[in-house]
Amino acid sequence: MKYTFPENFWWGSAASGPQTEGTYEGDQKGANIWDHWYAEQPEAFFDQVGPNRTSAFYKNYKADIQLMKQTGHNSFRTSIQWSRLIPNGTGEVNQKAVDFYNSVIDELIANDVEPFMNLYHFDMPMKMQEKGGWENRETVEAYVHFAKTCFELFGDRVKKWFTHNEPIVPVEGGYLYQFHYPAIVDMKKAAQVGYHEALASAKAIKVYHELNQGGEIGIILNLTPSYPRDENNPEDVKAARIADAIFNRSFLEPAVKGVFPTDLVDLLKEIDYLPVIEEGDLDIIKENTVDLLGVNYYQPRRIKAKESAEKLSDGPMPDDYFDNYEMPGRKMNPYRGWEIYEKGIYDILTNLRENYGNIRCFISENGMGVEGEERYINEDGRIDDDYRIEFVKDHLKYVHQAIQEGSNVQGYHMWTCMDNWSWLNAYKNRYGFIAVDLDNDCKRTIKKSGQWFKQMTDNNGFDD
């Protein structure tokens, strides 16, 4: 069968500033929470590889953009590091950062690769975190100032902006499950953090629209469908609905509809964990919804009614309302411990079409992290990652089906262009179309999947 995609479909990949740029003497970048955590606890990071040793995009971006062309990109998303542009979070702008980002943007455009620019990818400036980070209302205003600075500096050329990547992750990682800094367990603070992120997003959207720069602005959400163990069991269905409210609709509803989900509000009210809301906030959220939605999809969430008596914390936690369920016979990526369920991408797009006004959207991340890819190097030195080609194809078939049924999906970006540093996991799992040899001056080699992607995007589709 032939799978052909609409004309002008956005083909490419996604990355982030903190995961690719690296840190160099004299670059005048300020410390962010990852720099701080690594300095405090290097042993927490896989192989003790920290954010100073990412894939050196800061030095290699011109050659890297040529590799994007060679792997079929017409668009590429990255992020502007807050701590690079405004090292203390507020105050002086780092001119070296302005020069760097200007050059990256110009180089992308010169090579017919459209820049998609995200503003927050988990990289809170440490000076802001010392005052509470997203727990602190002041951070909202500092972020909005940062966003406005970016629009004014780069908005003449960048026409696709995103306020946050996966805003639920700082909530989950930093305040519930301890895989992001400050790694505490406090659901009340988690609720405040999530609220401030949603408010900051709406305020940045307001500023962007007021500047009339002729582009569009959205948010990037990791939408993880919550499937009940048994759709005929009301308790399973209810548990899945709660998980969906906490992890998906908490950001999806305010971003697209301008309101918070009532079931989530009721749940937080019941445990007295509602965030502090100032007068006028809810109007700002209501009136400043997104133009465009980025969808990150990796895995489903499978849920059953609460059965275990285990408590993760002395205080309330999301897991008090449901248990995770391991579906028998599920297909797995054993390296990442994630289920591979391609139809999830179709279910998300269908949900957006049916329940969210068929908002213009694109797949902003989808990918497969694999450990030890050097096992697949052929005699020419290329990694033959046929499993990644299969993974992308199998997801694209469902994207194609969603388009046939009227979904307003505009593109597909894989995570990621070249192998990059991945938080506490560092380089444990590789995701790129392009291999990065950390021990050999970050040498780049296009993998088989990168060559396939070029051929596929040249044809705007594939046969299978």
Catalytic center residues: 365
Residue with tokens 């194809």: 393
Q: If residue 105 lies in a helix (H) or strand (E), which one and from where to where?
A: helix 95-110
User: Distance between CA atoms of 262 and 255, rounded to whole angstroms?
Assistant: 15
Neighbouring C-alpha atoms within 13 Å toward the C-beta of 280: 1
Does residue 378 come out as left (phi exceeding 0), alpha (psi in the -120 to 50 range) or beta? Answer: beta
Phi, psi of 288 (to 5 degrees): -130, 70
According to the 3-state scheme, what is the secondary structure of 284-297? HHHHCCCCEEEEEC
Q: If DSSP codes are grouped into helix, strand and coil, which group holds residue 10?
A: strand
Give 342's contacts (C-beta < 8 A, 6+ positions apart). Answer: 394, 395, 397, 398
Look at residues 280, 279, 240, 287 and name the one whose alpha carbon lies nearest to residue 259: 287
**Hey, what are 211's tokens?**
């500047």
User: Distance between CA atoms of 414 and 15, rounded to whole angstroms?
Assistant: 9
Q: If residue 371 lies in a helix (H) or strand (E), which one and from where to where?
A: none
Task: Find how far residue 62's CA is from the centre of its chain.
Answer: 24
Q: Report the alpha-carbon angle 57-58-60, nearest 5.
A: 55
Which amino acid, residue 54? T
Look at residues 66, 69, 33, 70 and name the one whose alpha carbon lies nearest to residue 51: 33
Does residue 214 come out as left (phi exceeding 0), alpha (psi in the -120 to 50 range) or beta? Answer: left
